[in-house]
Amino acid sequence: MTEERDALIQAVREFADLELAPNAERWDAEKHFPVDTLRLAGQLGLGGESVREDVGGSGLSRLDAVAMFEELAKGDTTIAAYISIHNMVAWMIDTYGDDAQRERWVPGLAAMTDLGSYCLTEPGAGSDAAAITTSARRDGDDYVINGVKQFVSGAGSSAVHLVMARTGEPGSRGISAIVVPDGTPGLGFGRNEEKMGWHAPRGHQRDHAAGRRAEPSGRGRVTTNAGRAVRDRRPSTRDLGYA
Amino acid sequence: MKIIVIVKEVPDTYGERKLDLETGLADRAASEPVLDEIGERALEVALSHADANEAEVVVMSMAPERAAATIRKGLAMGAASAVQVADPGLAGADLGLTARTLAAAIRKTGFDLVITGNLSTDGSGGVLPAMLAELLDVPNLTALSSVEIAADSVSGGRDSDDGTMRLSAKLPAVISITEALPDARFPNFKGIMAAKKKPFETLAAADLGIDPQDLSVAASIMTAIAEKPPRSAGVKITDEGDGGVKIAEFLVENRLA
Ligand SMILES: Cc1cc2nc3c(=O)[nH]c(=O)nc-3n(C[C@H](O)[C@H](O)[C@H](O)COP(=O)(O)OP(=O)(O)OC[C@H]3O[C@@H](n4cnc5c(N)ncnc54)[C@H](O)[C@@H]3O)c2cc1C
C-alpha cells in the first residue's frame, strides 16, 4: 500500500530533519556519538527494520529500508550508516539466532536501548572479508575467540558485538557469527582512529580485540552461515553511494 | 470518555501560501499539504490524557477526499478512529457552514469533550471553536495554555497580557488550545501500520442533513480579491545623534506608539 509507505518514509524524513540535520555538523566536529538520538530512532522503529514483529521489529521490506536510509542519510550520513550496521546485527540475530538469543537480544536492539556492533573487518581483511583470521575455538559451551577487529562502528557503546570468527575451513564457509555481549572478559578496545569526517560512530575505528579468553558463555554461536549473510546483507547508504 | 479532536489539512506552514485568484480559495497545489501543527498539539492533549485514563480519541476533519492520508496521520499518532466529512459541495465553505457541518458530525459521533486548536495556520479565523460550542449548546473554554481533564469537567489556564485566568466547565464542552501546549508525539512505524486497520468513517454533507446551498442561512460572500502587494522597502533612519527622537516621531506619526 503506497499511502502507508509514504507515511513511513515521511516519518523518517521528519526525524532526519528535526533530530539529525541540525546536529550533524556539530556531532562530527565534536566526534560525538548521539546515543540519546539513537534511542529516539529506536522508538520510531528504526532499530529492527527487517526484524520480525514478535521480537519488536518493524517487519519492513528491503525496498522500504533503502528508502528510509536515503532519508536518514540526507540528515546525517554517518548516523544513517551506523543505523544500517546496527540493523545488520539485529537482522542476523533475528534470522540465524536460536529462540533464546532472539528473545534475549533482539527486543533491545529493535528499541535501540541496546546498540549493536558488527565486527567483521580486520587489519588484514577488508574488501576480502572471507580472509579473516580471527579464530573461535569451542571450549565446552563457550567459544574462545582470538583476534583483532578494526573499523567497528559503535564499538565502545554497544551492548552486543557480533563477531565474525573462523570456526572451520578457510574461506567464507568456515566463518561463524558469534554474539559477544559487552563486558565479556577479554574484550577490549583500542584507540579511536584519526580520520577525515565520519566521526560520530565513536568506537568506529577502534581495534576490537575479543581477547585471549572471550567467553560468550553458551550464547556463542548464531550461525555458520555468516559468509552468506555477509554477502547478502549490506543494506545501507552503501547501496546508494555517497555524494 | 469520548474526546473528539478537530484537525485540518493545511498548506505547509513553512512553504509558500497562495490564493487562487479565480476562485478565491487557497491554492492547495502550491505547497505540500500537512496536518496543521496546532491540531497535532490538540491531539497530543487528548492522547496524553488517554495514555493515563480511560478515553476514546476520535480525530475529525472536514476536508476534500484526498486529505484522508493527512487525517490518517492522527490515527498513526494514536487516535482510535477517524471521521472525515468529504463532499465536493463543501469546497470553499465559510466558517458558518464549516461549523454547522462539523457540529452535525460531532453530534452524530457523540462526545464528552471536543478539542480544537485556537486558530488554523491557513484560514486564521479563530472563531470555529466558539461557533461549535454555540451550535452544540455546550460551554466553551478558548485559548487554553494548560488543560486538565477530569471525569466530568475540564479546566485550564488562559494567558493574557495581564495574567492567567483559571477557567473550568462541566462536560460536555468544547475547548481550544494554544501553541503553549507541548509538541505532539511522532507517529512511529507501529502506529503507522496499525492506522490502516482503524475505523475511518467518511461522511457526505447529506449524511449529516446539511445542504451547503441552503439560502435560508446567512453566509459570507466574497466581493473582491487581490494578490498580496509585494513588500515595499521600509524607512531607514540614519542616526545622527537624534535617531531615538526620529524613531519616536515615526511611531507617533504612524499611530504605532
Ligand atoms: C566509515 C566506515 C565504517 C565502517 N564500519 C564497519 C563496521 O561497523 N564493521 C566492520 O566490520 N567494518 C566496518 N568498516 C570497514 C569496511 O567494511 C572496510 O573498510 C571495507 O570492507 C574495505 O576494507 P579496507 O578498508 O581494508 O580496504 P581494502 O580492502 O584495503 O581496499 C582498499 C582499496 O583497494 C581496492 N581493492 C581491494 N581488493 C581489491 C582487489 N582484489 N582488486 C582490486 N581492487 C581491490 C578496494 O576497492 C579499495 O579501493 C567500516 C569502514 C568505514 C570506512
pLDDT of residue A197: 65
pLDDT bin (cut points 50, 70, 90) of residue A199 is low
Q: What is the model's pLDDT at position B230? A: 84
- The torsion angle over the Cα atoms of residues A120, A122, A125 and A131, rounded to 10 degrees, is -60
pLDDT at A238 over 60: no
Closest CA–CA distance from residue B11 to any residue of chain A (Å) = 16
The complex scores an ipTM of 0.76
Query: Which grid cell sits at B56?
Result: 476514546
CB A174 within 8 A of CB A146: no
pLDDT tops 80 at residue B26: no
Q: What is the pLDDT of residue A242?
A: 31
Q: Are strands B2-6 and B113-117 parallel, antiparallel or unpaired?
A: parallel
At B33, is the pLDDT very low, low, confident or very high (cuts 50, 70, 90)?
confident
Q: How far apart are CA A154 and CA A135, in angstroms?
A: 22
Q: Does residue A130 have its Cβ closer than 6 Å to ligand 1?
A: no
pLDDT-based confidence at A239, cuts 50/70/90? very low
Looking at mean pLDDT, say which of A195-199, A217-221, B104-108, B247-251 comes out highest: B104-108
pLDDT single digits (tens) B127-166:
999 999 999 999 999 999 999 999 999 999 999 889 999 9
Q: How confident is the prediction for chain B on average, in pLDDT?
A: 93
Beta bridge pairs of residue B19? B26
Better pLDDT: B98 or A204? B98
What's the pLDDT at B244?
Answer: 93
Any CB–CB contact under 8 A between B197 and chain A? no
Over residues B6-17, the pLDDT tens digits come to 999 998 877 777
Asked if A44 lies within 8 A of B186 by C-beta distance, the reply is yes
Percent of chain A with pLDDT over 70: 79
Per-residue pLDDT tens for A157-184?
Answer: 999 999 999 999 998 889 999 999 998 8
Using CA atoms, how far apart are residues A206 and A149, in angstroms rounded to an integer?
8
d(CA A144, CA A166) in angstroms, rounded, equals 11
Within an 8 Å CB–CB cutoff, is residue A8 touching chain B?
yes
Check residue B49 and give its pLDDT: 98
Q: Which of B36, B37, B47, B71 is nearest to B147 (CA)?
A: B47
A&B contacts, CB < 8 Å: 39
pLDDT at position A207 over 70 = no
Alpha helical stretches, state H, A76-223:
77-96, 99-111
Query: What is the predicted pLDDT for the residue at B257?
Result: 77
Contact assignment for A7 to B188 by CB distance below 8 Å: no
| pLDDT at residue A223, as a whole number | 38
Is any Cβ of chain B less than 8 angstroms from the Cβ of A58?
yes
- The atom number, within ligand 1, closest to the CA of A154 reads 8
Q: What is the 3-state secondary structure (H, E, C) of A192-226?
A: CCCCCCCCCCHHHHCCEEECCCECCCCCCEEECCH
The predicted-structure confidence for B39-98, as pLDDT tens digits, reads as follows 999 999 999 999 999 999 999 999 999 999 999 999 999 999 999 999 999 998 999 999
SS3 category, B213 = coil
What pLDDT score does A1 carry?
Answer: 56
A136 at interface of B, judged by CB pairs closer than 8 A:
no
Average pLDDT of chain A?
A: 82
Q: Which residue has the higher pLDDT, A48 or B233?
A: A48
Contact B85, B64 (CB under 8 A): no
List strand residue ranges (DSSP E) for chain A, in order: 116-119, 135-139, 142-146, 148-149, 160-166, 175-181, 187-189, 208-210, 221-223
> What pLDDT does residue A215 have?
33
Query: What is the amino acid identity at position A115?
Result: L
Q: Which residue has the higher pLDDT, B1 or A203?
A: B1
Nearest CA to A91 among A157, A12, A175, A177?
A: A177
Answer whether 0.80 is exceeded by the pTM: no
Can you list the domains of chain B with their CATH numbers? 2-208 (3.40.50.620)
Distance CA A134, CA A124 (A): 10
Q: pLDDT band at A194, cuts 50/70/90?
A: low
Rounded to an integer, the average pLDDT of B214-231 is 87
Domains delineated in chain A: 3-115+229-242 (1.10.540.10), 116-219 (2.40.110.10)
Show residues of chain A in contact with B190, CB under 8 Å: 45, 58
Calculate how far, in angstroms, residue A90's C-alpha sits from the geometric centre of ligand 1: 22
Rounded distance between C-alpha atoms, residue A34 and residue A49, angstroms: 20
Q: What is the pLDDT of residue A241?
A: 31
Cell of A124: 588484514
The predicted model gives A137-145 an average pLDDT of 86
What gap in Å lies between CA A35 and CA A14, rounded to an integer?
19
Place B27 in a pLDDT band, splitting at 50, 70 and 90: confident
pLDDT attached to residue B137:
98
